[in-house]
Structure 1
Amino acid sequence: MIHCIIVDDEPIAHEILEEYILRCGRITIVGHARNAVEALALLEKYAIDLIFLDIQMPLISGLTFLKNLERPPAVIFTTAYQEYAIDGFELNAVDYLLKPFSYDRFLKAIDKIKTEKTVTPERSYFFSNNNRSTEKIYHDDILYIEAVGDYMKIHLSDRYLLQRSTLKALEEELPADEFIRVHKSYIVPVKKIIAIKKDTLYLSKSLTIPVSQSYKEQLIQKFRV
């Protein structure tokens, strides 16, 4: 059972989440808070697995509150303001529910929560070959892959690797459920996408990738939740 608190200054938001939580059956509500101060008191008193956290609240915003927690539990943001989505995901939020959200959308957010009983799957990988060496590359370490002439530039968090290949050949080698082609020159990991705005894809607030029109519909269908 997931133990949660609801933090929101709007009573109607508490009522809607209560209804969804009761229908879900996998979550129990430990407490309610109208602001960050009340939420902190609940966190100090109880063992909490999940916070449903509003962003626009009196005195201290939800974003500021989360930034100042040393060991935060899982967080699902619930807000009417779409513009905060990138900031929310950069704080490792489980999900970002844009009000008003449906019960089905709520369930999809809950399904993303990892509990202590979750079995960690074995990390998948492939071998990258260049002229001098062969290196094991874990799929979840890849930020994105860029075609540069006859080479593929595999961007990792702290460096990049060059592999002589084609983007099509590399695309066929990668798991189709984990990676997606978004441009004639780019492949990205699906789970690292945090936002799509017009012809731009965001992997972080500052890291963007162009989206080709020919790949846009496929991308939207994959990213749609």
Structure 2
Amino acid sequence: MQKSGWHYTIRNVIPWTSPPTTIPIPYTFIYNVKIMIKCLIVDDEVIAHQILEQYILQTDDLTLAGNCRNAMEAFAKLEQQTVDLIFLDIEMPLVNGVTFLKTLHPTAKVVFTTAYAEYALQGYELNVADYLLKPFSYERFLQAIQKVKALLATPTDQPASPYQGHLLVKEKEGLLKIPYTDIIYIEGSRDYMKIVTDNRTYLVHLTMKKLEEMLPPDRFVRTHKSYIVSIARIKVIKPGEVTLTGLQAVPVSSNYKDIVLNSFSK
């Protein structure tokens, strides 16, 4: 029998005796661990979700991690968890699939699912695993899955960096890409984070902890429970504060002063 991605094979049954002199093991199991591929569907069509859900359900090694109707929902979902494979539509409201794909971490494999054949070349230029032209059969779906499995099984020379040279955040305008080099400091409040750059200030709904995880530690340092600063923008360190580009003073608490000094001296 099969359960939750594990194979169970009964090798032998040892009958119980009464009373037993020792406690026998009634079953000997051999476990064959299967790697489950976590899938995310990003599509604005209800029928596309229904078909892909059914295909995923009836395919070994696949599990559904979530459903999103647009790129904004997908971005929020991927902030909460990682996935292995994204089935991504192209023509969607707010942000199209191609634009969204350019923001993704490279370890997640992507299969385009679209009714428009003209995007095929662009998809392959973006190194997608496969391109499924709607409507597609289950057999064609399985071909795409085999390609994904081969890519996931291929070892890389070195782990990919989770940092892409920019911070990707949601604002009321939509998805925003803020280059690390533009960021001077980040200030936290109860309801939002204020990201201060050379040109403007962004207000985003993220926790300080989550923002800190999204930033490369060799470029940014926490100075206070409410502040993160760009190391390159630190000009002067004083007792209890740092002076940044533009003579902006940011507090340094006693809990972070050693970390700040160490980062600044490297």
TM-score by length of 1: 0.51
Once the two structures are aligned, what percentage of the paired residues are identical? 60
Distance in 1 (CA, whole Å) between partners of 2:44 and 2:148 is 24
Query: Helix, strand or coil for the counterpart of 1:112?
Result: helix
Query: Helix, strand or coil for the counterpart of 1:100?
Result: coil
> What residue in structure 1 maps to residue 116 of structure 2?
81
> What residue in structure 2 maps to residue 36 of structure 1?
71
Query: Helix, strand or coil for the counterpart of 1:39?
Result: helix
> What residue in structure 2 maps to residue 201 of structure 1?
none
Offset at 1:68? 2.1
Following TM superposition, where does structure 1 have runs of at least 4 consecutive aligned residues deviating by more than 3 angstroms?
114-117
Distance in 1 (CA, whole Å) between partners of 2:63 and 2:110 is 15
Offset at 1:23? 1.1
Higher relative contact order (CA 8 A, sep 6+): 1
Q: How many residues align?
A: 121
> What residue in structure 1 maps to residue 39 of structure 2?
4
1:151-172: CA deviations, max 9, x gaps? xxxxxxxxxxxxxxxxxxxxxx
| Counterpart check, 1:61 vs 2:96 | yes
> What residue in structure 2 maps to residue 98 of structure 1?
133
Offset at 1:114? 3.7
Does the 8 Å CA contact 1:66/1:72 hold for their aligned counterparts? no
1:24-53: CA deviations, max 9, x gaps? 122101110000000011111112100000
Gaps of 5+ in 1: 121-225
Letter in 1 for 2:101: L
Gaps of 5+ in 2: 1-35, 156-266
Question: Given the superposition, is the C-alpha separation of residues 107 and 116 from structure 1 closer, same or farther in structure 2, using an over 3 Å criterion?
Answer: closer
Offset at 1:71? 3.5
Question: Given the superposition, is the C-alpha separation of residues 91 and 55 from structure 1 closer, same or farther in structure 2, using an over 3 Å criterion?
Answer: same
Does the 8 Å CA contact 1:4/1:48 hold for their aligned counterparts? yes
Offset at 1:113? 1.1
Does the 8 Å CA contact 1:2/1:50 hold for their aligned counterparts? yes
Distance in 1 (CA, whole Å) between partners of 2:153 and 2:106 is 19
Distance in 2 (CA, whole Å) between partners of 1:88 and 1:119 is 20
Letter in 1 for 2:72: V
Distance in 2 (CA, whole Å) between partners of 1:80 and 1:119 is 30
Distance in 2 (CA, whole Å) between partners of 1:76 and 1:116 is 12
TM-score by length of 2: 0.43
Distance in 1 (CA, whole Å) between partners of 2:153 and 2:96 is 31
Question: Given the superposition, is the C-alpha separation of residues 72 and 38 from structure 1 closer, same or farther in structure 2, using an over 3 Å criterion?
Answer: farther
Query: Helix, strand or coil for the counterpart of 1:24?
Result: coil
> What residue in structure 1 maps to residue 48 of structure 2?
13
